[in-house]
A and B are shown apart, each in its own frame.
Chain A
Amino acid sequence: MSFFYYAWDWVTTDANWHGSGSIPQQLVAHLGYSGLPLLIAALIAVPAGVLIGHTGRGAVVVVNVANAWRAIPTLGLLILLAVYFGFTLFTWLIPLVVLAIPPILVNVYEGVAGVDPGVKDAAKGMGMTPWQQVVKVEVPIALPLILVGLRTGAIFVVATATIAAYIGLGGLGRFIIDGLANSQYGPVAGGALLVVILALLVLGLFSLLSRLLVPAGLRGTGRDNQ
C-alpha cells in the first residue's frame, strides 16, 4: 500500500532525524505535550472518581457529562481558544486536560462503585477505617478499570495533541499539518505512521502496567469503557 511506502521512505530518510524539528525532537515534544495534560487530568479525575464511587454522590452528573463530552469537537474547541488567546500554554493545555478527565473519571467511578458490597462490608467488619477501606480494598479491586480509564485518556490526549498542531503546537502533528500545507504526502504519511506507533506503544505500556499492578486474582476483569 502506498501509504506505507511514503511513510517508510520519509521515516528512513536520514536528514529527517537531525537538526531542529527532527523526528526525535518532535517525538519527545509529543510525549511532553501528552504526558503533562494526562498527569494533571489524572490528579483531578482519579481522586474525584474514587470519592464519587465511594460515596455514590454525583454519579448521575458524572455519567451524563461523560456522555455529552463525546459530542464536543476538539478541533473547534482548540481553534476557538486560539482565536481568543493566541497560542499560549493554556490554549492547548486546558482543552487536553478537560477532554482527558471524563474517560478517567467514569472508569474510576465505575470501578470503585462496582466493588462487591459484601467485600466492602467485610472490610468494615474487620475494623478498617474508611480511608483503609478505600486504599486497601476498593482501589485495588477497581484497578483494572482505573487503568482502562487512564489508557483511554492517554490515547485520547495523544490523538488530540496531533490535531493541536493545527493551532501551532509542536509534536508529531507538525509533520502532518505542515506537510498538508505544502502538499507533500511524505511527511504527512510519516507523521501519521509515527503517531500510530506512539499510540500503540501507549496501549502496550498500559497492558504491561495492568500485568504488573493488578492483583493476580483480579486479572481479566477490566472491561472496556470508552
Chain B
Amino acid sequence: MMWSWIPSNWSQIWELTRQNAFLGIVSPLIGLAISLPLGVVAARWRWFYPPTLVFINVVYAIPSLALFIALIPAFGLTDTTVIIGLTVFSLCVILPNVVAGLLGVPASVKQAATAMGYGPLRRLITVELPLATPVIIAGLRVGVVSSVSLASVGQIIGVSSLGYLFIDGEQRDFPTEIYVGLFMVIALAVVCDLILVGVRWALTPWAAGRNRVPGSRPRWALATALAPIIQERA
C-alpha cells in the first residue's frame, strides 16, 4: 500500500467516483420511474404480473457484460449503454417490490380511504404509495447498491468509472490503485444506502421508533392512524 499515491491522484479518484456515482444512481432512479406505473398496473390487473415476472427473471439472468455489449451497436461506448443496462437490472429488483408493497396495503385501509371519499387516483397517491414506501425503498436500495458496484464492469467496454482503477492497477501491477478502487466503490454504495435509509425515515414518519414532534401535523393523517398495522408489515 502506497499511501502517498492517494493525495497526489485525488482529483482523478474523485472524478472517477463522481462518474461511478452518476452511472450507479441515475440508473436505479430511472428504473424506479418505470417501475412505479408498471407496478401500479400489475397490482391492479393481476393477470399482467406473472408474465412480467417471467420476463424479469429472464432479463435478470443476463450477465451485465453481455448486456452492455449487446447495447453497443445501438448506443456506442457511451454512458447511455451502461445506464440502459443498469436501468434494466434495477427494474428487475425494484418492480417486484413495488407490486409487493402495493399488494401489502391492507384491504381495510383501502376501504377506509374509499369510505372517506377518496377517488382511485387520490387513494393511490396519498394512501397506497406512502404505505408501500418502505417496501419500495427496500427494492431501490438493492438496485442502487448493485448498480454502483456493477457500473465498474462498464470499464471493460471503456466506459469510465471506478473500474478504471482496477484495470489500470492491473496493467501497472500496482495494488494500491486497486485497493482504492475497491474502497471507493464499497464506500459509495454504503453512502447511497444510508441516504436511502434516511429518505425512508423522512417519508415514513409513522414508522417504529419515531416520536412525532408535538404540534406538528402528520404528513398522511390516515396512514398515521393506521401505524400499528404498518409496523407489522414493514
Chain A interfacial positions (CB closer than 8 Å to B): 1-3, 6, 67, 70-77, 79-80, 82-84, 155, 158-159, 162-163, 166-167, 173, 176-177, 180, 185, 188-189, 191-193, 195-196, 199-200, 202-203, 224, 226
B109 at the interface (CB under 8 A from A): no
Given the complex of chains A and B, what is the CA–CA distance between A84 and B182 in angstroms?
15
Asked if B142 is an interface residue, CB under 8 A from chain A, the answer is yes
Interface size on B, residues (CB 8 A): 50
Q: Which residues of B contact A67 (CB under 8 A)?
A: 142, 145
Which of A3, A83, A180, A189 is in CB contact (< 8 Å) with B175? A83
Q: Which residue of B lies closest to A158 (CB)?
A: B63
B115 within 8 A of A: no
Main secondary structure of the interface of A (DSSP, over half): helix
Q: Is B213 an interface residue (CB 8 A)?
A: no
Which residues of B182-209 have CB atoms within 8 Å of chain A's CB atoms?
182, 185-186, 189-190, 193
Q: Does B28 contact A (CB under 8 A)?
A: no
* A199 pairs with B170, CB closer than 8 A: no
B146 CB to closest chain A CB, in angstroms?
A: 5
B62 and A163 form a contact (CB under 8 A):
no
Residues of B within 8 A of A (CB): 53, 57-58, 60-67, 69-74, 92-93, 96, 142, 145-146, 148-150, 152-153, 155-157, 162-163, 165-167, 169-170, 173-175, 178-179, 181-182, 185-186, 189-190, 193
Q: Min CB distance, A148 to chain B, in Å?
A: 10
A163 and B153 within 8 A (CB): yes
CB of B21, distance to nearest CB on chain A (Å): 13
- Of B66, B142, B150, B175, the residue contacting A84 (CB under 8 A) is B175
**Which single member of A6, A73, A185 contacts B149 (CB below 8 Å)?**
A73
B66 and A196: CB pair below 8 A?
A: yes
Interface centre among A167, A189, A192 (most CB of B within 10 A): A192
Given contacts A163-B65, A189-B70, A199-B62, contact A71 B148 (CB under 8 A): yes
Cα-based distance from A173 to B64 in the complex (angstroms): 12
Q: Judging by beta carbons under 8 Å apart, are A70 and B178 in contact?
A: no
B126 to chain A, nearest CB (A): 29
Min distance, Cβ B140 to any Cβ of chain A, angstroms: 13
Cα A158 to Cα B69 in complex, Å, equals 16
Q: How far is it, in angstroms, between the C-alpha of A180 and the C-alpha of B72 when the chains are bound?
A: 12
**Inter-chain contact A73/B69, CB cutoff 8 Å:** no
Contact of B146 among A70, A76, A191 (CB under 8 A): A70
Complex contact A195–B63 (CB within 8 A): yes
